[in-house]
Amino acid sequence: MPKVFRRQKSVLVSSSSTSTNGTGTAERPGKRSSSTSSSTVVFGVPLSTVQIRCGQPLPAGIVHLMRQLRKCGVAAHGIFRRAGGRARVAALKSRLDANPDEADFANCQPYDLADVRAAECLITQRLSPTLMDIFTYVKSEDARLLAMQASMLLLPDENREVLQALLYFLNDFADCAETSQMGASNLAVCLAPSLFYFPHEAATGVGIGGRDAVSPRRLRRA
């Protein structure tokens, strides 16, 4: 099956240096809007909100976290399948919410870094059933690939940018499957429930980082 994505210039960091806060006033990346009363900057909020608050859909702190995880965890056995320490993961999220530009993750365990979730479901509630129908009813691999590529145009720009960055990122982990035992199929099992709105979750509209977000363990227990 031909690859959907070709590696281009990194999309992990936006070239934009400023954003607007919805009132037409420029807002510096990494700074909270003065009109924002929520203490949550990164987690459990829509990517469009993250874009406004941080100047890019992936805050600089998440980019640094991903780079550190690529450096120390790409060959870790069962990465993304093994859970991190609950208290340590919560502390990491608190650090990133307090400082979205956080850059020091050198002393963090790879399983803790891999257990951090930073965005809403990348595949929107409207598009998730469409993709599932493509895989269910389109039998030709070539036609399925074309249908998937076309459907990506229906994603909001920030979702598409983060999804592309995530796929490049996960491809590096899949390349180390002989060591980590986390090939493309195993990565999909662990992460797909966090990327898609499934029918039984659609009514709640809860995304990654929300208290009711779907996890692979919950699906296996269901």
With CA atoms as reference, report the closest residue to 12 among 162, 195, 208, 172.
162
> Taking a C-beta distance cutoff of 8 angstroms, is the pair 124, 208 a contact?
no
Task: Write the class of the CATH domain 47-195.
Answer: mainly alpha
Whether the CB-CB separation of 100 and 32 falls below 8 Å is answered with: no
SS3 156: coil
| Its pTM surpasses 0.85 | no
User: Is the separation of the CB atoms in 26 and 20 below 8 Å?
Assistant: yes
Q: Do 29 and 54 touch, CB atoms closer than 8 A?
A: yes
Q: Where are the domains of the chain?
A: 47-195
Are 168 and 18 a contacting pair, CB within 8 Å? no
- First-to-last C-alpha distance (Å) of the chain: 32
pLDDT of the chain, 222 residues: tens digit per residue? 444 444 433 333 333 333 344 433 344 444 444 333 356 778 888 888 889 988 899 999 999 999 999 999 998 999 999 999 999 999 999 999 999 999 999 999 999 999 997 657 899 888 999 998 999 999 999 999 999 999 999 999 999 999 999 999 999 999 999 999 999 999 999 998 888 887 654 444 443 334 344 444 443 343
Q: What is the pLDDT of residue 152?
A: 94
**pLDDT score, position 61:** 94
